Structures are given as structure tokens and as C-alpha cells.
Structure 1
């Protein structure tokens, strides 16, 4: 009797950066099960991360507002044999259970997973601390995928690559380097205030070789309308923004989705980070690109940390000045 090919659903109804860090799973699953069927279930706003991915057979949009039974029927029709739940979620746990997926793997010891007979992987309170993408790959390892390659990737079509090249020339406007500044984040990690980003932009504009692109979808008022600065992502779709990010030489940001997008596109990054476990670059740092992480000195946080990344004083101190970041950028550009 012929063995049934695996039909695997990867579920990541989360933020864009988290979805980017899930992109190694389809690739590594297909390496192990080349005849398998792999689908991802993500929210509408994050689906563009997976467009044109050669290892994905289907993108399923998850809408928490859709009726429960309607969603169960949608999932059931695919005949999945396995489901990997990268984010603990009680509703999704029961959706996959009632969709009749025999093997379901979740994260951690959740009662609702136990009640639905789901398997699980344990993060052991992040000890030892590994990268989120590596933790995510643990779920694939649970079903037989033996891999240590958790480098994220976003794939552009040939047409998108041509658009990126054209857009880069337009944005550069005869300059040599295109530097992105993404000043906003989801608030889960420390970040500069807008005034510090403004100062960095002024320093970058003093270099005749550099064009600055503020890449926020909604730039802060103090960073809007600056002469000689371009704003390619305002009112843009995520996919169009991804193409714009691919045109950059380097992106400066806090730990946020655009940083992960650029890393997955192999664009250089300079990133402001906090060493707290929940924010650590060991857990959330950029992967697969040439990057520089800005962190406090080893003993700074021992005495100064307020215990809340939103109240971090380090990035507002004289230890992480725009001048210091400008020097880091210059050093990275000179290594071209």
C-alpha cells in the first residue's frame, strides 16, 4: 500500500517579523519531504511575506472573526496530515482539532493542547537562549525534519527584481548609497525617540554620497517632509514595501519587522537592541545578512535597567548617540 504524502500546515497568525522568522520551515520541510504539500496560515496583513515562495503550495488567510465552523470546513478540505502551531492560541488549537488533522504540534504546556491531544515542544524558559527562528524550527523537528538551517528568506519574482533595480535608481537620484531609516516599531523593544532619528538623518544628509529613505508607513511628524529625503513606503502595500526594502544598501531601526524583512532580503542592517531575555538579539536578532547590533556595555544594564524595555534609558543616553550610529554606518558602507 502506497504511503500517503505528508500535507503540512504551518500556522503563524502573528506580527510581520514573526512571520518572516517562520520562512525557514517550508524550505526545510520540503528538503525532507520533497513530495509533501506545505501550506501556511497567516493573517491578511502578513501574507505578502510568503508571496512567490517556491516552497509554499498554498497561503490560507486566517481571520479570527470568521465563524468557527466555516473556518474548520476551510481547513478540513485540504486534508492536512500535520499542523505546526508556532503561536499558542486556544481557538486555533480547536480549529485544527475539529478539522481532523491527526498530528498537531504546539508550543509549551497548555491545557487546551492537552485536551485536544496535541503534541508539543518545550522552550524550557529560553534556557539556553536560542533564536526565535530556531525555536520555530523545533516544531518541524518534532515531525522528522532534521535541520539546523533557520535562515529566513523572502523571494522576489524576476519582475519584482527589475522593479527594485529601477526604483533604486530613481530613489538614489545619482547618489551612491541608499540608507533606510525605520523609526517606528511595535513597542515591544527599546527604540530611539524621533528626535534622535532626525539627528541621524541630518548626519547622513551631510554625506554627498548618501540618499536617505524614511521607510515608515506613517513617519512621525518630525521626520516628515525633510528636504532631499524620500518616503517610498507611505500608503504602500506590504509587498511594495518589501520591494523598496530590497533596493536599500542598509537599514537603521530598532528590533522590528522591517529589520527582519531586510535581513531576509540580505540587506545590511544596523539595529538598536536591549539585552533583556525577551528582547535579546540572541532571540530576535537579524539573520542571514551583514549586520551590526547596538547594545549597552556589559555592565550598564546591571545597575541601570528599569526592567521594562519601554522605559529603557540606554538609548537616550550619550552612549548611543546618532554620531555613534553614523560612524557604524560609514564603516559598513566602506566595506563595500
Structure 2
């Protein structure tokens, strides 16, 4: 049987689909399993043991400067033709808008009614298999793997030594949604308190690269620079991640992550890291870190900036004993 899974939305959404891929492989060990993803999120499937082939298309909004939409659309049409020639038996649509791609590739059967229950996205994806299996497949852990050469390069270039002289805390400061952003001053205050207390040996600072004024991909270069300036005399290492492979590899070097809800949070969960995460108006029941020890912080106002530095400090301290240990989802 030839099965195509379609997941065309964000990074975290695709990561939350990996337990379903594991369940598919367990029930259909001889099947060909392909994934249709986009150029923005496909990297998180690197070396996924359950996937035979990843097909990547580009969204028009992700085209290079000076590149026309027509060329992108033609490229996608040719990819759909390639998949159609494969003779897809079953398409499993795990993201909104994916049904038209399932029809374009000529899938003989399409499953695409993702339920609103159970609550977590990883469980909802696994529940898509119920019509196929006659039972609900349990959602196992998320699966993300770094590229070893990239991780080794980052570790060597930055002189990162895990657990020496103490735990490495990853801090990711970016979020697409304004309601999920902490200020540079709040991040700097937290980092200073943690490092001066001796609970953390080193901080790895992550952010979305680029200037905040970039219309297509606004970044946090200015915010990161302000945090680094405020922590100039402390062991804070900036980890520049231009490519998604660099973000995955960099996060794999940390012992634990502090961040807002988003793609980096789910990647870290897929890497098995304990996580303290700040939520704005997204529902934690659906999007909390799956399968790893974690603490969710959410203010009554559902605005991340309302979460205090002492609250974050307490949450991180509470998870420190969990470093290197597995926890329930």
C-alpha cells in the first residue's frame, strides 16, 4: 500500500504529526509512506525512521526575492504530477486545505476529518487513523533528529561543553504572535538571576534571525543584541540559526528550553528536552509540549508579557531535577 500524509502548515504542527507516522509504520510495516510538506517545515522530518520519502513544495509567500508566483505554481503542479504517477492508495490529510492536494495526486481514498477531541494535536493526528485501523492509535512521543555534522559544527564553533560547568539552558526569545512575546528586559533579568544563582552553567540564546522590519520574515536581531549587551559579563552564547537545521541542531545541545509556545517548543519536545513554555491565547491543552517534562505558564490576561520573571524562575528551578529524565505526556 502507498500512503501519503499531507501536512502543509507550520513547523510545530508537522512535529506533532510524527506520533501518527510511528503508528502508521507499526500497523503497516511493509507500506510505502510518503509525506507532502512545505519548504518551511520539511526539515523536521530529517532522518525520520518511519518515512520512506519526503516531497517538498514551496508556498508562493516563501519564494525568493525577484521570483514570480507562476514559477512556484508550475513547480508545485509538476510535483503533484509526480505523486499522481506513484499511484497513491491512501492520502491522510492532517492540516486544513490539504484535501485539494489529495485530490490532485489522485489518491484512491482520502481520510481528512481530524476530530476536535482528544485535546492534544498529537492525539488528534493519531485519531485520524481510527477509520483505517478500527481503533484509536495511542500517541507516542514526538520524533525530531538533528543533523550530526551541523550539531558538531555549532558545538565546536561556539565552544559549547554540555553540563560543564553546569546545565545548559536554551532560551528562545521569538514568537510570531505579539501576545506571546516577552521583552528584552524580562529575558535579560531572568538570565541574570539564573546565572548569578549558579543554578545554570550557561545560556544558549536562540532567536528568529533578521531585522524586525523585514516584511516577509521579521526577526529579532535587535532584541537579541539588547539581551546580549545586558548580559555581557555572563556566559550567554548566541546561537545564530539561519536555517531550520541549525535551530534543530542547536536545541539538541541544550539540556532544557525556556520559550514561548511555537515551533521551537515542539522541536525541543521532539528532541526529548524538558521545557518551560509561556502561552498567550493559544490553548495549552492542544499545544503543550508532548511527551516530555514541562511547565506551562499562562497569565489570566493570556498575554505573555504579564508573566513575571519570578514565575518563570520558579518554573525553571522546578524542572532542573528532570534534566535527563523522561516524563509523561
TM above 0.5: yes
CA distance in 2, matches of 1:172, 1:212: 11
Cα shift at 1:61: 0.5
Is 1:240 the counterpart of 2:246? The answer is yes
| Residue number in structure 2 paired with 1:322 | 309
CA distance in 1, matches of 2:141, 2:249: 19
| Residue number in structure 1 paired with 2:124 | 135
Provide the secondary structure at the position in 2 that maps to 1:73: helix
Residue 167 and residue 69 in structure 1: after superposition, are their counterparts in 2 closer, same or farther (change >3 A)?
closer
Number of residue equivalences: 292
CA distance in 2, matches of 1:55, 1:167: 32
Structure 1 outlier segments of 4+, above 3 Å = 156-169, 171-174
CA distance in 1, matches of 2:154, 2:20: 26
2:114·2:125 contact (CA, 8 Å) conserved in 1? no
CA distance in 2, matches of 1:153, 1:217: 22
1:82·1:101 contact (CA, 8 Å) conserved in 2? yes
Provide the secondary structure at the position in 1 that maps to 2:86: coil
| Residue number in structure 1 paired with 2:64 | none
Name which of 49, 57, 65 aligns with 2:52: 57
Residue 182 and residue 156 in structure 1: after superposition, are their counterparts in 2 closer, same or farther (change >3 A)?
closer
RMSD between aligned residues: 2.6
Is 1:231 the counterpart of 2:238? The answer is yes
CA distance in 2, matches of 1:173, 1:137: 36
| Residue number in structure 2 paired with 1:178 | 168
| Residue number in structure 2 paired with 1:97 | 103
Cα shift at 1:15: 1.0
Provide the secondary structure at the position in 2 that maps to 1:206: helix
Larger deviation, residues 235-244 vs 130-139 = 235-244
Provide the secondary structure at the position in 2 that maps to 1:143: helix
CA distance in 2, matches of 1:264, 1:72: 29
The structure number with the bigger radius of gyration is: 1
Name which of 70, 76, 83 aligns with 2:78: 70
| Residue number in structure 1 paired with 2:41 | 46
Is 1:331 the counterpart of 2:310? The answer is no
Name which of 268, 285, 290 aligns with 2:288: 285
Unaligned runs of 5+ in 1: 1-5, 107-119
CA distance in 2, matches of 1:185, 1:145: 39
Cα shift at 1:149: 2.0
TM-score, L = length of structure 2: 0.79
Residue 41 and residue 169 in structure 1: after superposition, are their counterparts in 2 closer, same or farther (change >3 A)?
same
CA distance in 1, matches of 2:154, 2:129: 33
CA distance in 2, matches of 1:189, 1:42: 28
Unaligned runs of 5+ in 2: 60-71, 210-219, 324-329
2:180·2:305 contact (CA, 8 Å) conserved in 1? no
1:50·1:154 contact (CA, 8 Å) conserved in 2? yes
Residue 335 and residue 29 in structure 1: after superposition, are their counterparts in 2 closer, same or farther (change >3 A)?
closer
| Residue number in structure 1 paired with 2:260 | 254
TM-score, L = length of structure 1: 0.78
Q: Deviations over 1:255-274 (max 9, x none)?
A: 11111111111111001124
Cα shift at 1:289: 1.1
Q: Deviations over 1:24-76 (max 9, x none)?
A: 12111010011011011111121210010111000000234332642331211
Residue 258 and residue 53 in structure 1: after superposition, are their counterparts in 2 closer, same or farther (change >3 A)?
same
Provide the secondary structure at the position in 2 that maps to 1:170: coil
